């Protein structure tokens, strides 16, 4: 077979991250180790049945990933490839340990749009720097784990600004990455938040609603620090100084961690208000089917202020106690 470097061994053993990006020159081993070893380990460990391998075309995937020496079929003798599909799956696919790995090309949008209709366990995209960015965006929301390989390319490509630049080197090998690259990643994140805030402010809004969105259950693609950074930029312009939203029949996150300038306040139409002295994220649910409740994350107990009076009186008292 082949001998792995210690860096590749550490890479393959790390099963905790939800995304891996391998950037390197041709023949650096990123496809062999990435697709043939690490990706297949993640597929084996996944609880989901369906997975995806994507390349420029299905022919390229067959040649460079599946059928080559030290390819998937060479490394995993229990894997079987159905290039023309079968009675159960019309797309080309690999059957492996009871799992199905769909094989597709990102060159034809009609093909991949027909395939992407659900949630997948693991996704591998080869040469993502040449991929259709709409395909990358769509597939990135439909998996538990994804791996991209790419050759060094222009840092102005959207795949860098939206995905690659958000990655961080593994702690053990952090010293191997020039500080200029780390600095560029941090600066890119700062620029991104500035740009989003500027786009919002260009509409000259009087009130801005902040909603917490995730792609799937237990997703890690929501970052409190990112949304808080945008909120701080907008608040600096006075837009978020006093903001209200109607919670009738809704569930909303009304506070994000302890970086909020004030504790959140819930006003009732029955003549009282509730201020939540929480140090973490707060959810308010007012959907009849689920019941009305206030939930705080990562807290064993929470203090509340119950304030009696009409809305004006409640807000006045809230302003006093929340200073």
Is pLDDT at 73 greater than 90 in this prediction? Answer: yes
Is pLDDT at 222 greater than 60 in this prediction? Answer: no
Residue 265's pLDDT band, with cuts at 50, 70 and 90, is confident
Count of positions (residues) in the chain: 323
Is pLDDT at 270 greater than 70 in this prediction? Answer: yes
Domains in the chain (CATH in brackets) are 6-177 (3.40.50.300), 244-321 (no CATH)
Is pLDDT at 235 greater than 80 in this prediction? Answer: no
Provide, rounded to the nearest whole percent, the portion of the chain with pLDDT above 90: 26
Provide the pLDDT for residue 214: 43
Provide the pLDDT for residue 155: 73
d(Cα 120, Cα 144) in Å, to the nearest integer?
A: 7
pTM: 0.57
Q: Which three-class secondary structure state does DSSP give residue 70?
A: coil
Share the mean pLDDT of the chain: 80
Q: State the burial class of residue 175 (Cβ atoms within 10 Å of its Cβ: 0-12, 13-18, 19+).
A: exposed
Contact (Cβ atoms closer than 8 angstroms) between residue 52 and residue 101: yes
Provide the pLDDT for residue 217: 42
Cα within 13 Å of Cα(134), Cβ side: 7
Provide the pLDDT for residue 300: 81
pLDDT digits (tens, 9 = 90+) for 47-56: 999 999 999 9
d(Cα 116, Cα 111) in Å, to the nearest integer?
A: 9
DSSP 162-191: HTGGG----GGGGGGS-HHHHHHHHHHHHH
Residue 220's pLDDT band, with cuts at 50, 70 and 90, is very low
| Most confident residue range from 12-16, 70-74, 112-116, 180-184 | 70-74
Q: Report, as an integer, the average pLDDT of 66-81.
A: 94
């Amino acid at each position: 077979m082949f001998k792995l470097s210690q860096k590749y061994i550490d890479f393959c053993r790390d099963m905790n991250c939800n995304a891996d990006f391998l950037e390197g020159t041709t023949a650096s081993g990123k496809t062999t180790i990435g697709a043939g070893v690490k990706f297949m380990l993640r597929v084996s460990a996944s609880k989901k049945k369906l997975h995806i391998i994507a390349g420029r075309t299905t022919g390229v995937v067959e040649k460079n990933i599946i059928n080559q020496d030290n390819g998937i079929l060479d490394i995993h003798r229990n894997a079987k490839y159905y290039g023309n599909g079968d009675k159960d799956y019309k797309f080309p696919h690999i059957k492996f340990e009871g799992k199905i790995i769909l094989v597709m090309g990102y060159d034809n949008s009609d093909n991949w749009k027909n395939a992407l209709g659900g949630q997948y366990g693991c996704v591998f995209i080869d040469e993502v720097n040449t991929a259709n960015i709409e395909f990358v965006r769509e597939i990135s929301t439909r998996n538990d784990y994804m791996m991209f390989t790419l050759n060094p390319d222009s840092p102005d490509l959207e795949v860098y600004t939206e995905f690659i630049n958000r990655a961080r080197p593994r702690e053990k090998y952090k010293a191997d990455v020039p500080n200029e690259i780390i600095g560029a990643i941090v600066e890119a994140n700062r620029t991104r938040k500035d740009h989003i805030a500027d786009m919002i402010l260009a509409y000259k809004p009087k009130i801005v609603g902040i909603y917490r969105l995730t792609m799937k259950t237990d997703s890690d693609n929501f970052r409190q620090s990112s949304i808080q950074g945008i909120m701080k930029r907008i608040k600096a312009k006075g837009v978020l100084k006093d903001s209200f939203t109607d919670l009738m029949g809704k569930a909303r996150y009304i506070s994000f961690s302890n970086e909020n300038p004030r504790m959140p306040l819930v006003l009732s139409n029955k003549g009282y208000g509730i201020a939540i002295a929480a140090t973490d994220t707060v959810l308010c649910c007012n959907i009849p089917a689920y019941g009305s409740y206030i939930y705080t994350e990562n807290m064993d107990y929470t203090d509340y202020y119950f304030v009696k009076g009409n809305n004006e009186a409640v807000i006045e008292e809230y302003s006093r106690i929340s200073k």
